[in-house]
Structures are given as structure tokens and as C-alpha cells.
Amino acid sequence: MDVESDFLSYLEAEQRCSPHTVEAYGRDVSRFIEWITPVGQQFDPHSVTMSDIRAWIASLADQGMAATTLRRKTQSLRAFFRWGMKQGLFSANPAADVSLAKKRKHLPDFVRTDEIESLLNDSHPHTPAEYRAHLAVTILYSLGLRQAELLSLTDFDVDLSALELRVNGKRNKQRVIPIPRQLAQEIAEWQKMRDLRYPDLPFPRPIMAGPHGAISKETLYQIVKDQLKTTGVAKKSPHTLRHTFATVMVNSGADLDAVREMLGHASLSTTQIYTHLSFKDLLQNYRKSHPRSSRSDNSDQDPIVDDKTNF
């Protein structure tokens, strides 16, 4: 019995995890099994202890691995051993009580509105590759899609007459989001270019198409990085454009629950990070613009209210 393959099949078929999650969890489990199993011997899940998992996570932390990645690796092993117990393969879950690495709290990067609008308005693509790059950035910024969601889009998911887009999100949860009319026209124009350039594409044809099907996530990342090179944002990635979409929506007064629906967040608390972005932007503008803000905003001064005071 190949426990790794069976575990991945369970994630895909029963848990309905995204291909990205299945790939990541499978890689994590494989790396742990390689690390814990002596050369020339078979993996013995019954011999794994909580100390073993802690030691593996600690070794990765010593190599400088990010806390978010360490957390996922712990969660991967929790899921793996939990599945094994349900199947009667393992007697315990040694990862169950391993503490998750603490994430550093930080606000997501986003492109300034004037920069992204200028970039898209001043873009005049001539070749199909340039047009595809322009369309990728436009869709990510206009609709807030995840990288995997954009890459999985096909002609069947786009209803240009109704101005609607059907998106397959995490755990295969579907949502329908509106398409601006101009974006719908750009998608239709690209479909004509794509069909002339790649006439042998299989159906349903992907929106972000290359010669053999949908482009890879590495290609998409490079496209976005190249397109955002003139902007001041530090991280030039597809996910940065998703953050940009959400930040623009919240700063413009959109209902938070509506933003949650468009982003496909399961919980409103995930979306609420963008209210902090909005306040940060407001505070920066206040400090730059109001003559009295600089007088009162001096971090070296004593606090006005002692933190022991109760109201």
C-alpha cells in the first residue's frame, strides 16, 4: 500500500483540496519521510514521535524557513497522521500537539492605485504575448482572483453576454463575480488572438493559454513581475494584485462582506486585514497633509494616557 499516494487521493477526492494544496501537502509529507527514515529502510509511522516532528521543524527553522511555511508543514503532518488513524494504519497522531510556528504579523503589499491605473491605461500591447500579459494583470487587479483561479479559467467559465465569471476557488467552492464591460471586451479580443495563435488547443480552452494549454504558475509570476517593474511595490506577484484589488475596494467604501464574497474568503476575519490597510493609508495621508498632525505625532514624547488607566 502506497500511503503517500492514498493520502493525496483522499485530499483531492474527499477533502476537495486545490491542486496547489495537494501538491504542497504531498511534498511536505515526502520530505519528512525522507528525513526520518534511515537509508535502506522502510518508513515506520508507528515509530514517529512528537519529538521527531519538533526536531524536523526546528531543523528547517534553523535553515531560515519562513514561519508560514513551517506552519503548513506541521499542518500537513497533522492531516497525514489524522487520515492514517481514520484508515486504521496509524495508532496515534504525533503531530497533533506540535505547536505551530508563530507568524509575523504584517500588512500585505499592494500597488498604489495611481500606479496600477497608469500602468493599465498607458499599456498598448501589440503582440499576442503582450496582450496576454496585459489581460492577466487586468483580471487579477479588476477581480481579485487567486493565481490558481486565473490559471484554471476556461471559456466555459466566462459568460461575456451576462458579464459574469464563474470561479473555482479553494476546496472547489464556486463563486460568480461580475466582469466590467471593458474587461469582457478585452477577454473577447484575446480569445480571437488566442484561437488564431493556438488553433490546436484542447477544449475547454484556457483563458491564460500557451501553445499546449494553460501557462504555468511560474510563467504567470514572471509576467506579473515584468508588468509591475515600473511600480514601487516591493513584492511584484499575482497575489500582490489580489491584495491591491481588496485594498482599493475597502478604501473606496465597499461593503466588507461583498469584498469577502468576491475574494472567496471563508471567513470575514480574513477580509478584515484590509480595514487595517485602509486605516494605515488614511493615517499616512493625515500625517502628510494636516499641519497639526506632525505636532502631536511624536513617538519620543510621553504618552498622553498611562496604559494602566481604565476608562
Q: Which of 71, 175, 225, 239 is catalytic?
A: 239
Cβ atoms of residues 256 and 267 within 8 Å: no
192 is catalytic: no
Q: For helices 67-86 and 19-36, what crossing angle results, to 10°?
A: 90
CA dihedral sign of residues 56, 60, 61, 62: positive
Please give the Cα distance from 45 to 178 (Å, whole number).
48
217 is catalytic: no
Q: Which of 10, 25, 141, 274 is catalytic?
A: 274
Please give the Cα distance from 286 to 292 (Å, whole number).
9
Please give the Cα distance from 144 to 259 (Å, whole number).
9
The string over 58-97, giving b where at least 16 C-beta atoms fall within 10 Å of a residue's C-beta and e elsewhere, is eebeeeeeeeeebbbbbbbbbbbbebbeeeeebeebbbee
Please give the Cα distance from 212 to 86 (Å, whole number).
40
239 is catalytic: yes
Which three cell numbers, joined as nine digits, stand for 102?
508563530
Q: Which of 78, 242, 243, 260 is catalytic?
A: 242
Q: 270 — alpha (psi -120 to 50), left (phi > 0) or beta?
A: alpha
Q: Which of 73, 78, 146, 243 is catalytic?
A: 146
Q: Which of 82, 170, 197, 217 is catalytic?
A: 170
170 is catalytic: yes
Residues marked as catalytic: 146, 170, 239, 242, 265, 274
